[in-house]
C-alpha cells in the first residue's frame, strides 16, 4: 500500500494516515534529505538557485509529512499514535541539530553573502540569509568536539522532556471526571451548561451529569456553581494537574520535567556563549535585553496594580454583602466576580450566548476580513479528507479571484484533543522553479460544542478566542512573500507574532462589526443596543486584575530563564512566590501548581517569551487605533495593514512593518485606554 505521508498530494490524506505509516515515512524522508544535503555540501559556487532553494524544498517535504502527524497527535491523541510520534521526535530532533551544526552548509550561506550576486537579492532573500546565519549560530555551528556532542545530547533530551511534559498534562487533564446522578449540586449553572454536562455523560453511555476539566466545562462550574465545595473540587483538580498535589495519578507529575528542562536550557545557553537562557531567547525577539523586558512589564504593573487591588477589595466587600463568611478563596473569585458584574452591569455570558451561534459568528468573522482586505472566503465540503466530522475546510480568494490560502477549522473541545487554541502551519507558501504553493493553516479551538439539536452557542470570550486564532491564520495565509523561511509567520520576531491575532480581537467589541454576526440564533434579532451598551460598560470589569495576572506569568517566565541555579521544584516555587508577592492581588492556595501546567513555557515556544502577549498587545492596540480614527471597515486602512504587516510576513523586521503602517514607533497609550487605565 502506498504511504499517504509520502504522497505529493496538495493536502494531507487524513483518512488514510494510520500509525504504521508514520515511522517508515519519516525515516525515508530523513534518509533521502541527508543524501541530498551531502551533495549540496560540495557546491563551491553556491547561489540562491543551486543551494538555498534545494534546501527549502527538502525542508518543505519533511514539513508536509510531519505536520499532519504533529497535528493528529494534538487533536486525536491515542496511545498508538503517541508511541509512533514519540519514536519519530528524536529522529527529527537529531536531524535538525545536524543541520544547525553543519559547517559546510553554514559556509555555503556565508559564500552567498560575499558573492557578486548578493546585491541582486530581494529583501526577503536578504532577511532569510540573515536569519539563517543566526539559526546556525544558535544551533551550535561554532561548537566542536565534546561541546558539540553535549549540545546534541541537550537538544535530544529537551525534545523528550517537553513532549513528556505535554503528555503528562493531557493525560492528567483527561483522566479526571466527576459523575453526578442528579443536578442537586449544580444549582446556579445556566441551562446550556446543564445540557452540556448531561451530553458529556451520554457520550460515555452514562446517566446524570459528567463534569470534566475541558475548558467550557471548567469555566461553567467555577463561574456559576453555588455549591462552594464543588467549585473547590474542580478548582483543585484543575490547578493541580500534572503535579503531586492533585487528585489524579502522580505518575503524571511534571516536577522533575520542569527542573530538568530549565537546567538543560541553561546548559544550552552557556554552551553557546550566553549568560543565561533569557539572553539566548531574546536573540530572536524585538526586545533587546532582559532589562528592557522587565522594565516594560514593571511599567504596566505600575499603571495597573493600584486599580487591581482596588478591584479585589471591591470584590471582597461584595462577597461579604452576599452573606459570604470567611476568607475569599481562589475558587470563589470567578463566582463572585460574575455575580458582581451582573449586579453592576446587569449582564452575564448567559445573556449574550444566544447572539453568538457558530455559523453566524464564523460568517460574520469572514465578512469582516472580506470587507477589510477584499478577499472572498468559501467553504469546500467535498473531496477534502478530515480527522473528525466536526472539522470544516475553507479557501480564500483575493480580489482577482486567485486562491491565496486554505484552512481547516476545528472548533470544539472533545476527548483526545489537547486544551487551548492555536494556529499551526499545514503547508507553507513558496514560489520555487515556477511552482506556487498555496499556504494552508490549521485553526484549532476548544469552544463549547453544540448541545442536542441546538447550534453551538459561544461566550463572548470564546468569540474573541476564535477571532484571535483567525488573525494568526490570516498572517500565515495572506502573505505575499515567496521565500518560505520568511513567508507568513516564519521569520517574525516572537514578541511581534501576536500582533495580527490580538488586532483581530478588537472587532469583537465594535458595534458595526457585531451587527454582522451578533444575532439571536432563533429569531435573527440583532444584539439589542441596551445589551450592547451593558457589554461595553462591563468590558473593563476587573481588567486590571486580569492584566496583573498576565504580568505574573510573564515575570515568572523571565525570571525562571534568567536564573541559572534551579535545582529543585521548590526553587521554581520560590521564584513564583516572589513574583506573586510583587504583582498578585490574591495568593493562591499552597496546593496550586500552576507551573506544572504552564505548557506555553515548558512545552511550547514561549520560554523567556511569554511577555510577548503584552508586548504585541501594545502594537495591536496602537495599530487598531488607526481604524478607530479612520473607520473600522476603511478599505484604504485595511489595505495598508494588509500591505505593511500581513502580506510582509517575516521578510523584514517587525518594527519596520509597524512603522510602515503607522508612520511612527509604537506607543503604549492605546493599550492603556483599551484596558480602562488612565496613563
What CATH number does residue 80 fall under? 1.10.1370.40
Q: How many Å apart are CA 438 and CA 486, to the nearest integer?
A: 15
Q: Could you tell me if 399 and 490 lie in one domain?
A: yes
Is residue 585 within 8 Å of 648, Cβ to Cβ?
Answer: no
Domain count, the chain: 4
Q: What is the pLDDT of residue 252?
A: 97
Q: Could you tell me if 522 and 571 lie in one domain?
A: no
Is residue 406 within 8 Å of 394, Cβ to Cβ?
Answer: yes
Q: What is the pLDDT of residue 679?
A: 56
- Residue 206 DSSP label: -
- Any domain includes 679: no
- Any domain includes 308: yes
Distances (CA, A) of 566 to 4, 150, 266: 45, 20, 10
Please tell me which residue in 469, 485, 505, 617 is annotated as part of the active site. 469
Q: Is 325 a known active-site residue? A: no
Q: Could you tell me if 462 and 600 lie in one domain?
A: no
Q: Pick from 591, 610, 629: which residue ends a domain?
A: 610
- Nearest CA-CA partner of 150 in 270, 282, 34, 262: 270
- Any domain includes 663: yes
Q: Could you tell me if 360 and 495 lie in one domain?
A: yes
Q: Could you tell me if 515 and 645 lie in one domain?
A: yes
- Any domain includes 359: yes
Q: Could you tell me if 560 and 530 lie in one domain?
A: no
Q: How many Å apart are CA 183 and CA 14, to the nearest integer?
A: 40
Q: What is the pLDDT of residue 676?
A: 87
Q: What is the pLDDT of residue 325?
A: 86
Length of the chain: 679
- Any domain includes 286: yes
Q: Phi and psi at residue 526, in whole multiples of 5°?
A: -65, 155
Q: What is the pLDDT of residue 326?
A: 86
Q: What is the pLDDT of residue 1?
A: 67
Is residue 106 within 8 Å of 129, Cβ to Cβ?
Answer: no
Report angle CA 608, 612, 613 to the nearest 5 degrees: 130
- Nearest CA-CA partner of 512 in 611, 646, 364: 364
Q: How many Å apart are CA 123 and CA 128, to the nearest integer?
A: 8
- Any domain includes 153: yes
- Any domain includes 374: yes
Q: What is the pTM of this model?
A: 0.96
Element at 101 (helix H, strand E): none
Local mean pLDDT, 10-residue blocks, the chain (679 residues): 91 96 98 98 93 97 98 96 96 96 97 93 97 97 96 96 97 97 96 95 96 96 97 98 92 98 98 98 97 97 96 96 91 97 94 97 98 97 92 96 97 93 97 95 97 95 98 98 97 97 98 98 97 97 96 98 97 98 95 97 96 97 97 97 98 97 95 83
Q: Do strands 435-437 and 440-447 pair parallel, antiparallel, or not at all (unpaired)? A: unpaired
Q: Could you tell me if 533 and 622 lie in one domain?
A: yes
- Any domain includes 313: yes
Q: Pick from 170, 203, 228: which residue ends a domain?
A: 170
Q: Could you tell me if 424 and 399 lie in one domain?
A: yes
CB neighbours of 624 closer than 8 A, spacing ≥ 6?
503, 506, 670
SS3 content of the chain, % helix, strand, coil (to 5): 60, 10, 30
Q: Could you tell me if 207 and 264 lie in one domain?
A: no
Q: How many Å apart are CA 137 and CA 114, to the nearest integer?
A: 18
Q: Could you tell me if 125 and 261 lie in one domain?
A: no
Q: Pick from 252, 287, 317: which residue ends a domain?
A: 252
What CATH number does residue 601 fall under? 1.10.1370.10
Q: Could you tell me if 377 and 503 lie in one domain?
A: yes
Distances (CA, A) of 475 to 178, 190, 488, 655: 40, 37, 5, 16
| Structural domain boundaries enclosing 666 | 354-537+613-674
Q: Could you tell me if 232 and 128 lie in one domain?
A: no
Hey, which bits of 286-421 come out as E strands?
A: 376-379, 392-397, 403-412
Q: What is the pLDDT of residue 670?
A: 93
Amino acid at each position: 500500500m502506498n504511504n499517504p505521508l509520502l504522497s505529493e498530494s496538495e493536502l494531507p490524506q487524513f483518512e488514510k494516515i494510520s500509525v504504521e505509516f508514520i515511522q517508515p515515512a519519516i525515516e525515508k524522508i530523513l534518509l533521502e534529505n541527508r543524501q541530498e544535503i551531502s551533495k549540496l555540501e560540495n557546491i563551491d559556487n553556491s547561489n540562491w538557485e543551486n543551494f538555498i532553494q534545494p534546501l527549502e524544498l527538502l525542508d518543505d517535504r519533511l514539513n508536509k509529512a510531519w505536520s499532519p502527524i504533529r497535528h493528529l497527535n494534538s487533536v486525536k491523541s491515542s496511545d498508538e499514535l503517541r508511541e509512533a510520534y514519540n519514536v519519530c521526535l528524536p529522529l527529527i530532533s537529531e536531524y535538525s541539530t545536524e543541520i544547525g551544526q553543519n559547517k559546510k552548509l553554514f559556509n555555503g550561506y556565508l559564500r552567498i553573502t560575499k558573492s557578486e550576486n548578493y546585491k541582486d537579492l530581494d529583501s526577503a532573500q536578504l532577511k532569510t540569509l540573515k536569519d539563517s546565519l543566526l539559526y546556525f549560530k544558535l544551533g551550535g555551528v561554532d561548537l566542536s568536539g565534546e561541546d558539540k556532542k553535549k549540545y546534541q545530547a541537550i537538544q535530544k533530551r529537551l525534545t523528550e522532556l517537553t513532549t513528556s511534559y505535554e503528555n503528562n498534562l493531557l493525560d492528567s487533564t483527561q483522566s479526571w471526571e466527576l459523575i453526578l446522578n442528579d443536578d442537586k449540586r449544580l444549582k446556579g449553572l445556566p441551562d446550556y451548561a446543564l445540557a452540556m454536562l448531561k451530553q458529556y455523560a451520554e457520550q460515555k453511555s452514562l446517566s446524570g451529569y459528567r463534569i470534566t476539566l475541558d475548558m467550557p466545562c471548567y469555566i461553567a462550574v467555577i463561574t456559576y456553581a453555588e455549591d462552594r465545595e464543588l467549585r473547590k473540587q474542580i478548582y483543585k483538580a484543575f490547578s493541580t494537574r500534572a503535579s503531586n498535589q492533585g487528585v489524579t495519578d502522580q505518575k503524571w507529575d511534571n516536577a522533575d520535567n520542569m527542573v530538568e528542562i530549565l537546567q538543560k536550557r541553561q546548559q544550552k545557553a552557556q554552551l553557546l556563549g550566553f549568560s543565561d537562557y533569557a539572553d539566548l531567547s531574546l536573540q530572536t525577539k524585538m526586545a533587546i535585553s532582559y532589562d528592557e523586558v522587565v522594565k516594560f512589564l514593571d511599567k504596566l504593573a505600575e499603571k495597573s496594580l493600584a486599580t487591581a487591588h482596588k478591584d479585589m477589595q471591591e470584590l471582597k466587600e461584595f462577597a461579604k454583602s452576599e452573606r459570604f463568611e470567611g476568607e475569599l478563596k481562589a475558587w470563589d473569585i470567578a463566582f463572585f466576580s460574575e455575580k458582581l458584574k451582573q449586579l453592576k452591569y446587569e449582564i452575564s455570558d448567559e445573556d449574550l450566548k444566544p447572539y453568538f451561534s457558530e455559523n453566524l459568528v464564523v460568517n460574520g468573522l469572514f465578512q469582516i476580513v472580506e470587507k477589510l482586505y477584499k478577499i472572498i472566503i468559501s467553504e469546500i465540503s467535498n473531496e477534502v479528507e478530515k480527522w473528525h466530522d466536526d472539522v470544516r475546510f475553507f479557501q480564500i480568494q483575493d480580489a482577482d479571484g486567485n486562491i491565496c490560502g486554505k484552512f481547516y477549522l476545528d472548533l470544539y473541545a472533545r476527548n483526545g484533543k489537547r486544551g487551548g487554541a492555536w494556529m499551526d502551519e499545514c503547508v507553507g507558501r513558496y514560489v520555487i522553479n515556477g511552482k506556487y504553493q498555496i499556504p494552508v493553516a490549521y485553526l484549532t479551538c476548544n469552544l463549547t460544542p453544540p448541545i442536542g439539536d441546538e447550534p453551538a452557542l459561544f461566550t463572548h470570550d470564546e468569540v474573541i478566542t476564535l477571532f484571535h486564532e483567525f488573525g494568526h491564520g490570516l498572517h500565515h495565509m495572506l502573505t505575499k512573500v515567496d521565500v518560505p523561511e520568511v513567508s507568513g509567520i516564519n521569520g517574525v520576531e516572537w514578541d511581534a507574532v501576536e500582533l495580527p491575532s490580538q488586532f483581530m480581537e478588537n472587532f469583537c467589541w465594535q458595534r458595526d462589526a457585531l451587527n454582522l454576526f451578533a444575532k439571536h440564533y432563533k429569531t435573527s434579532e440583532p444584539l439589542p443596543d441596551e445589551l450592547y451598551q451593558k457589554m461595553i460598560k462591563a468590558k473593563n470589569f476587573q481588567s486590571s486584575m486580569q492584566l496583573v495576572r498576565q504580568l505574573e506569568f510573564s515575570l515568572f517566565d523571565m525570571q525562571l530563564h534568567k536564573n541559572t541555579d534551579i535545582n529543585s521544584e521548590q526553587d521554581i516555587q520560590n521564584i513564583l512566590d516572589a513574583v506573586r508577592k510583587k504583582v498578585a492581588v490574591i495568593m493562591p492556595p499552597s496546593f496550586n501548581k500552576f507551573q506544572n501546567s504552564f505548557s506555553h513555557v515548558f512545552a511550547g515556544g514561549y520560554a523567556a517569551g511569554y511577555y510577548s502577549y503584552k508586548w504585541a498587545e501594545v502594537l495591536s492596540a496602537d495599530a487598531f487605533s488607526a481604524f478607530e480614527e479612520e473607520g473600522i471597515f476603511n478599505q484604504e486602512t485595511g489595505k495598508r495593514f494588509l500591505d505593511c504587516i500581513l502580506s510582509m510576513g517575516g521578510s523584514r523586521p517587525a518594527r519596520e512593518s509597524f512603522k510602515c503602517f503607522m508612520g511612527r514607533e509604537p506607543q503604549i497609550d492605546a493599550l492603556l485606554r483599551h484596558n480602562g487605565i488612565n496613563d
